Amino acid sequence: MRIQTTSNGIYEQIADYGMEQILAGEWLDGERIPSVRQLAAEIGVNPNTVMSAYDRLKEQAIISTVRGRGFFVAEGGKAAAVALRRTEFIRQQIPSIRRNLSLLGISVDELSYLLTLPTFNDESV
């Protein structure tokens, strides 16, 4: 994971990284995830920053703590991550996508076709 200079804070980037690991199937429901110190050392940040990210994921029921054993992907953690990302996508991305489709004259049928292509290149258009 690389920390980037964006408007998102470092802890938010780490929380997003954790969510991506879960969505990609790298961290599975019920599986132990890297400790705060381990992840902090791996990406070169203060452990408190990782702890803030883990707290955020705990609040969203994506990860859980087992006292004395560490952090784990919560049972149903992937489903919670999917639901959260899906809601964010619908609220944040769809309005922009709809506007761009309208401005560019791209029909729903054309978009559907483009989304079914195995790869996209300029010749597909």
Examine the domain organization and report whether 23 and 62 are in the same domain.
yes
CB 64 within 8 A of CB 58: yes
Q: How far apart are CA 54 and CA 64, in angstroms?
A: 9
Residue 25 pLDDT class (50, 70, 90 cuts): very high
Q: Encode pLDDT of 87-114 as tens digits.
A: 999 999 999 999 999 999 999 999 999 8
CB 115 within 8 A of CB 125: no
Quote the domain boundaries for residue 33.
10-79
Residue 124 pLDDT class (50, 70, 90 cuts): low
Examine the domain organization and report whether 53 and 15 are in the same domain.
yes
- Gyration radius of the chain over CA positions: 18
Q: What is the model's pLDDT at position 120?
A: 65
For residue 9, pLDDT beyond 70: yes
Mean pLDDT of 41-64: 96
For residue 121, pLDDT beyond 70: no
Examine the domain organization and report whether 14 and 75 are in the same domain.
yes
Q: What is the model's pLDDT at position 4?
A: 63
Alpha carbon 98 to chain centroid, angstroms: 22
Residue 98 lies in a domain: yes
CB 74 within 8 A of CB 29: yes
Q: How far apart are CA 38 and CA 84, in angstroms?
A: 26
Which residue matches tokens 């087992």? Answer: 66
CB 72 within 8 A of CB 32: yes
Residue 115 lies in a domain: yes
Domain total in the chain: 2
In percent, the amount of the chain with pLDDT more than 90 equals 83
Q: pTM here?
A: 0.79
Q: What is the model's pLDDT at position 1?
A: 63
Which residue matches tokens 């791996």? Answer: 42
List the CATH number of the domain containing 37.
1.10.10.10
Q: How far apart are CA 110 and CA 124, in angstroms?
A: 11
